[in-house]
């Protein structure tokens, strides 16, 4: 890709140097077409430590960074509730944006973000790195080719461990106003993929509960959903699994085939029986998890996202997820939480 692009390096500024911001920096450092031009964290120690590490100007104030720095794009890696205001501010400063998932906490905010990007003629892109997982890309291919025939049902299980240290290590985690709920954090990866496969969620019946953490959001939930293409879905999630992540899976039941993508984070194919598309023998399962010390997150394909972002900025056709697609997940989450009592 880099040879083919023939362009000057894209200048990235990163805001929020927490678990995922550090991963963005590590990926950008290795990406030949990227240059880290600045970073920002409201925690002065973190900003200084990483500013020194990458030898770039560092800021404690986001507004100040936007004013002072000449970058092409801002990567927004702060907690969910900052995604909308920080995206809008970057748009108004004429910077492209790569915002972490979830795009925002409300569909209204997503629409404001899209409007700001359009008004300022900048690109708004959302991190959805699981789309690049080897098993997911293969499932998407057979679905697009219609190999499974009519799809009847899909089941998703997000059975993960997030311990007390996870919730207490950052002030926004587990707090309704700032995090919204586990659907925004852990499950949004899966909801994006389901919508990508089967269309928008148009109906949902959900039950949620908090069983094992001192938090104001749910740590267990189950939702029965219907997609626009008629598929019936069951989505189960918890962050209460003992000790470690147990499973992150999607099982698709079709007229001409059955697929279970599993492992802990959609990294293996646990079952594949597709009438006219046998599982390729040479498949390489090379997706790795993001590892953050006290817990393991979703897949670490941020390098592929960054590649696609650079392609998009160069004006070429890219598969990176844009604001309108990011909005679909947030809209589905709002629908799933509607009428839940907690
Ligand atoms: N794509 C993925 O797999 C993935 C994985 C982890 C996190 N995320 C997303 O990234 C975001 C951050 O998550 P995290 O786990 O890295 O959180 P974190 O709490 O570890 O880090 C957040 C960082 O943002 C900084 N910050 C907070 N408010 C700020 C402000 N106003 N200005 C500047 N800095 C500020 C904090 O000091 C902290 O260093 C969340 O939205 C989360 O959903 C995505």
Helix (H, G, I), strand (E, B) or coil at 128: coil
In this predicted structure, what is the pLDDT of residue 3?
47
Write out pLDDT tens, residues 171-196.
999 999 999 999 999 999 999 999 99
Ligand 1 contact via 129 beta carbon (within 6 Å): yes
Find the 266 Cα to ligand 1 centroid distance in Å.
22
Residue 4 pLDDT > 60: no
Ligand 1 contact via 75 beta carbon (within 6 Å): no
Q: How many residues does the chain have?
A: 342
Tokens representing residue 114 in the block:
């899209």
Work out the average pLDDT over 194-210. 98
Find the 100 Cα to ligand 1 centroid distance in Å.
8
Q: Name beta bridge partners: 207.
A: 222
Tokens representing residue 314 in the block:
């160069």
Ligand 1 pocket: which of 14, 17, 20 to mutate (most atoms <8 Å of CB)?
A: 20
Residue 5 pLDDT > 90: no
Q: Name beta bridge partners: 271.
A: 260
CA distance 226 to 232: 5
CA 161 to chain centre: 18
In this predicted structure, what is the pLDDT of residue 2?
43
Q: For the chain, what is the mean pLDDT? A: 95
Domains of the chain: 2-126 (3.40.50.720), 132-297 (3.30.360.10)
Ligand 1 contact via 295 beta carbon (within 6 Å): no
Ligand 1 contact via 79 beta carbon (within 6 Å): yes
Tokens representing residue 162 in the block:
């997030």
Q: How many CB atoms lie within 10 A of CB 3?
A: 6
Residue 124 pLDDT > 50: yes
pTM of the model as a whole: 0.96
β pairing state of 58-59 and 34-40:
parallel
Write out pLDDT tens, residues 61-83.
999 999 999 999 999 999 999 99
Helix crossing, 107-120 with 323-337: angle to 10°? 170
In this predicted structure, what is the pLDDT of residue 7?
80
Helix (H, G, I), strand (E, B) or coil at 311: helix
Find the 102 Cα to ligand 1 centroid distance in Å.
11
CA distance 141 to 207: 33
Find the 21 Cα to ligand 1 centroid distance in Å.
7
Residue 152 pLDDT > 50: yes
* Cβ–Cβ under 8 Å, residues 220 and 187: no
Q: Name beta bridge partners: 278.
A: none
| pLDDT above 90 coverage of the chain, percent | 90
223 — pLDDT class (breaks 50, 70, 90)? very high
* Cβ–Cβ under 8 Å, residues 92 and 120: yes
Residue 280 pLDDT > 80: yes
DSSP annotation string for 42-103: SSHHHHHHHHHHHTS-EES-HHHHHHH---SEEEE-S-GGGHHHHHHHHHHTT-EEEEPSSS
In this predicted structure, what is the pLDDT of residue 331?
98
Burial of 309 (0-12, 13-18, 19+ CB in 10 A): buried
Ligand 1 pocket: which of 100, 178, 185 to mutate (most atoms <8 Å of CB)?
A: 100
Write out pLDDT tens, residues 302-318.
999 999 999 999 999 99
Write out pLDDT tens, residues 236-264.
999 999 999 999 999 999 999 999 999 98
Ligand 1 contact via 77 beta carbon (within 6 Å): yes
Ligand 1 contact via 131 beta carbon (within 6 Å): no
Q: Which helix (H) or strand (E) holds 201?
A: strand 201-209
Cα R_g (the chain), whole angstroms: 20
Find the 49 Cα to ligand 1 centroid distance in Å.
16
Find the 236 Cα to ligand 1 centroid distance in Å.
25
Residue 38 pLDDT > 80: yes
Query: CA angle 255-257-263, nearest 5°?
Result: 135
Helix (H, G, I), strand (E, B) or coil at 305: helix
Find the 18 Cα to ligand 1 centroid distance in Å.
5
Ligand 1 contact via 101 beta carbon (within 6 Å): yes
Ligand 1 contact via 18 beta carbon (within 6 Å): yes
The 8-class DSSP code of residue 132 comes to: G
- Per DSSP, helices labelled H in the chain are 2-5, 19-30, 44-54, 62-68, 83-92, 107-120, 134-144, 164-168, 176-179, 182, 188-198, 302-313, 323-337
Tokens representing residue 332 in the block:
């589905």
């Amino acid at each position: 890709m880099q040879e083919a692009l023939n362009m000057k390096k894209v200048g990235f500024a990163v805001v929020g140097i927490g678990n995922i911001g550090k991963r963005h920096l590590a990926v950008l450092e290795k990406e030949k077409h990227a240059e880290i031009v600045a970073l920002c964290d409201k925690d002065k120690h973190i900003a200084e430590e990483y500013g020194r590490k990458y030898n770039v100007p560092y800021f404690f104030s986001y507004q100040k960074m936007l004013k002072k720095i000449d970058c092409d794009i801002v990567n927004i890696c702060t907690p969910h509730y900052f995604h909308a205001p920080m995206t809008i501010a970057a748009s108004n400063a004429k910077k492209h944006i790569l915002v972490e998932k979830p795009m925002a906490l409300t569909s209204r905010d997503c629409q404001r973000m899209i409007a700001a990007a359009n008004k300022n003629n900048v690109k708004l892109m959302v991190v959805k790195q699981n789309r690049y997982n080897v098993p997911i890309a293969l499932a998407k291919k057979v679905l697009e080719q219609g190999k499974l025939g009519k799809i009847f049902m899909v089941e998703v299980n997000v059975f993960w461990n997030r311990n007390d240290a996870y919730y207490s290590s950052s002030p926004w985690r587990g707090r309704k106003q700032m995090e919204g709920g586990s659907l925004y954090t852990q499950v949004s990866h899966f909801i994006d993929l389901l919508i990508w496969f089967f269309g928008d969620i148009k109906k949902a019946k959900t039950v949620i509960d908090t069983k094992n953490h001192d938090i104001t959001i749910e740590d267990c939930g189950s939702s029965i959903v219907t997609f626009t293409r008629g598929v019936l879905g069951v989505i189960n999630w918890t962050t209460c699994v003992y000790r470690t992540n147990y499973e992150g899976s999607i099982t698709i039941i079709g007229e001409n085939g059955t697929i279970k993508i599993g492992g802990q984070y959609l990294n293996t194919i646990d079952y594949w029986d597709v009438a006219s598309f046998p599982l390729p023998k040479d498949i390489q399962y090379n997706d790795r998890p993001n590892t953050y010390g006290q817990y393991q997150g979703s897949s670490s394909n941020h390098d592929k996202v960054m590649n696609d972002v650079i392609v998009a900025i160069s004006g070429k056709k890219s598969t990176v997820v844009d604001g309108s697609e990011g909005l679909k997940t947030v809209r589905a989450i709002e629908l799933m939480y509607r009428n839940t009592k907690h």
